[in-house]
Amino acid sequence: MEAVRYFPMKSDEMHYQISRSDDIRDQHSVDLSIRSCSCRRYDLTGIPCKHAVCAIWCKKEDPEMYVHSYYLIETYKRCYAMSIMPTNGLSLWPECNFPPPLSPIHKQKLGRPAKLRRREPDEPPPSSRNKLKGVIKFNKCKLCGGSGHNQMTCKGNEDVQQETATQKIRKEKLHVRRPQDVGVHIQGNRPVNIKKPAFVKDGVNFTTVSQLRSSMKSTSSEGSSRNK
């Protein structure tokens, strides 16, 4: 308790001068007869302050004896000793000729309205409250397998990047097929043979319009010679 830091100086049985050993300016006078202290805390609350407790200890008495009577259980029982009488409902209330009270005038304050209420000094700030948060998802890098970045911003070893590049090149080579005869069906259900495609992509042969026309002409000339 803070009362231990003070030492009393007795004037008489009810008046004491309370001083602090480490601070001379912290000095108060206590009057136990009227239950008062110069710090005014004892006067306002009715509970002995630290200065009054120091004086009561000097008197070798219990501080609870100097608490105001309205903190006692007997005072509480005396206040509620009388019974509370019953009251009628709103429909049985007598009518009066006075006009009903008006609603208070609403005045719009300047500035942006506040979203957070004013908190008490002992309340925690709003940032410390528990809030529901969603699941945080991290990107997974395809090169090193780490999280938090992708293969474009990866700062891993260059050997891993070279290995992945060589693997991609090998996969592309496996998908590429050699040029071979490709039969393309056109109108009349006549197959057109293209021996050399223009390019190969993803294992599919592609040709140009000029090659297609030349192959059609060659097939038509071969067919006419056979008919003769």
The DSSP code sequence of the chain is -GGGGEEEEESSSSEEEEEESS-TT-EEEEETTTTEETTSHHHHHSS--HHHHHHHHHTT--GGGGS-GGGSHHHHHHHT-SPPPP---GGGSPP-SSPPPPPPPP-PPSSSPPSSPPPPTTSPPGGGS----PPP---B-TTT--BSS-SSS--S-HHHHHHHHHHHHHHHHHHPPPP--EEEE-TTS-EEEESS-SEEETTEEE--HHHHHHHHHHHHHHHHHHH-
pLDDT at 39: 92
The domain locations on the chain are 2-74, 139-171, 182-227
10-residue averages of pLDDT along the chain (228 residues): 85 91 85 92 92 92 91 91 90 89 88 84 69 68 77 67 66 52 45 58 65 68 57
Tokens of 7: 């030492």
CA–CA gap between residue 55 and residue 61 (Å, rounded): 9
Buried b (16+ CB within 10 A) or exposed e, 45-75: eebbbbbbbbbbbbeeeeeeebeeeeeeeee
190 in Cβ contact with 203 (< 8 Å): no
CA 202 from centroid of its chain's CA atoms: 50
pLDDT at 52: 93
pTM: 0.40
